[in-house]
């Protein structure tokens, strides 16, 4: 029997299968008692005497440094920036994650935030509640140039979702050549176009192409970020890059806090050099910064993965990795 600490929050809020799976295999489970994201020192204090950790985005460096008992970190989610992989390898701590389960929920939220920003949905809601009724105008995804930074699992799903909106262009920026994946998507876009032409729709076909970061930033009407946080992407969207965007453009980050410099974003939007932004992730969470002052900024609570089905799948997969590990079975999604 292993002792398993769950630091991620929430856990098993709408589906108990992950917890039941652990207990049914004889493991002792203690769940985050804070009711919020734990601080690094809190993770250390609570989990140092446990064999395994089911983790969220908490910084795990103090725990890996301070625990002599920890054998496994099973990450609920895909990002690994909070896990000190080299230190884990040195200390013989295995790491697993759940890279696939999160993609549907995050990609749908990203598209929803695009529509919200461009049509000023949240602004209209707040205005009605304060007694106003100006019926604000906005733009459609159809006919827009939409930039996607990062064309992995989530970025590809976002692009696929967008086909039905018939944007003018989908611009892809990625470190590797994505021409084969783009061709598949372009073929799907062309088939969709042909089908609707037969129905008498007077639409133009979607163009999908890969561009460099400079062209992505310069030409996107709305840009959505889907890359991991690393030394190369930390503060990538600082003042110098943000000012290269069109003043009518929007920026969305559902990837990781720290990729967008929040202070620079505030100044760019406040000075009307950018039309607005939507952020689901922040440097410090919960977020208490001055972006809250801006009407054309949408702020959500790191909830990209928080659909009932995707969250349940992520938690179940993380729990299954714990059971596999202590049964001496190979990990399905092993990192190290």
- Phi, psi angles (nearest 5°) of residue 11: -140, 125
Which tokens go with 7? 């630091």
Q: What is the pLDDT of residue 193?
A: 84
Q: What is the pLDDT of residue 308?
A: 97
Sheet harboring 72-75: ordered strands across? 28-31, 3-6, 52-55, 72-75, 94-96
Q: What is the pLDDT of residue 291?
A: 98
Q: Is 244 helix (H, G, I), strand (E, B) or coil?
A: coil
Give the domain ranges of the chain.
3-101+308-326, 103-299
Catalytic residues: 256, 285, 302
3-101+308-326 folds as: Rossmann fold (3.40.50)
Q: What is the pLDDT of residue 157?
A: 98
d(CA 239, CA 267): 8
Which residue carries 């076909």 as its tokens?
Answer: 205
Which tokens go with 135? 């019926």
Residue 178 C-alpha from the chain's centroid: 20
Q: Is the Cβ–Cβ distance between 178 and 210 less than 8 Å?
A: yes
The shares of helix, strand and coil residues in the chain, as percent rounded to the nearest 5, are 40, 15, 45
The yes-or-no answer to whether 3-101+308-326 and 103-299 have a common fold is yes
pLDDT tens-place values along the chain, 336 residues long: 899 999 999 999 999 999 999 999 999 999 999 999 999 999 999 999 999 999 999 999 999 999 999 999 999 999 999 999 999 999 999 999 999 999 999 999 999 999 999 999 999 999 999 999 999 999 999 999 999 999 999 999 999 999 989 999 999 999 999 999 999 999 999 988 888 777 666 678 899 999 999 999 999 999 999 999 999 999 999 999 999 999 999 999 999 999 999 999 999 999 999 999 999 999 999 999 999 999 999 999 999 999 999 999 999 999 999 999 999 999 999 999
Q: What is the pLDDT of residue 334?
A: 98
Q: What is the pLDDT of residue 162?
A: 97
What pTM value is reported for the model? 0.94
Q: Is the Cβ–Cβ distance between 27 and 327 less than 8 Å?
A: no
Residue 106 C-alpha from the chain's centroid: 6
CATH superfamily of 103-299: NAD(P)-binding Rossmann-like Domain (3.40.50.720)
Q: What is the pLDDT of residue 196?
A: 79
Q: What is the pLDDT of residue 285?
A: 93
């Amino acid at each position: 029997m292993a002792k398993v600490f769950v630091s991620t929050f929430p856990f098993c809020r709408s589906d108990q299968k992950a917890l039941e799976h652990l207990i049914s295999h004889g493991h002792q489970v203690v769940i985050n008692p804070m009711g919020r994201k734990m601080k690094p020192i809190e993770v250390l204090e609570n989990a140092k005497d446990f064999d395994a950790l089911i983790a969220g985005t908490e910084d795990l460096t103090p725990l890996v440094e301070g625990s002599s008992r920890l054998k496994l970190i099973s990450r609920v989610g895909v990002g690994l920036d909070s896990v000190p992989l080299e230190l884990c390898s040195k200390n013989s701590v295995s790491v697993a994650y759940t890279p696939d389960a999160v993609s549907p929920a995050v990609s749908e939220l990203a598209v929803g935030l695009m529509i919200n920003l461009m049509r000023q949905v949240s602004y209209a809601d707040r205005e009605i509640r304060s007694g106003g009724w100006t019926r604000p105008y906005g733009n459609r995804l159809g006919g827009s140039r939409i930039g996607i930074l990062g064309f992995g699992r989530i970025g590809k799903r976002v692009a696929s979702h967008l086909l039905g909106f018939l944007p003018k262009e989908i611009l892809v920026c990625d470190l590797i050549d994505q021409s084969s994946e783009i061709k598949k998507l372009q073929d799907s876009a062309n088939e969709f176009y042909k089908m609707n032409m037969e129905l008498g729709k007077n639409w133009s076909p979607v163009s999908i192409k890969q561009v460099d970061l400079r062209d992505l930033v310069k030409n996107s009407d709305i840009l959505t970020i889907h890359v991991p946080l690393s030394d190369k992407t930390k503060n990538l969207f600082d003042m110098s890059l943000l000012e290269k965007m069109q003043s009518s453009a929007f920026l969305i980050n559902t990837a990781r806090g720290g990729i967008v410099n929040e202070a620079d974003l505030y100044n760019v939007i406040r000075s009307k050099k950018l039309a607005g932004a939507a952020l689901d992730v922040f440097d410090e969470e919960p977020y208490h910064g001055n972006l809250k002052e801006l009407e054309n900024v949408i702020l959500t609570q790191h909830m990209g993965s928080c659909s009932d089905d995707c969250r349940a799948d992520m938690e179940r997969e993380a729990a299954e990795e714990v059971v596999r590990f202590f049964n001496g079975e190979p990990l399905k999604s092993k990192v190290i």
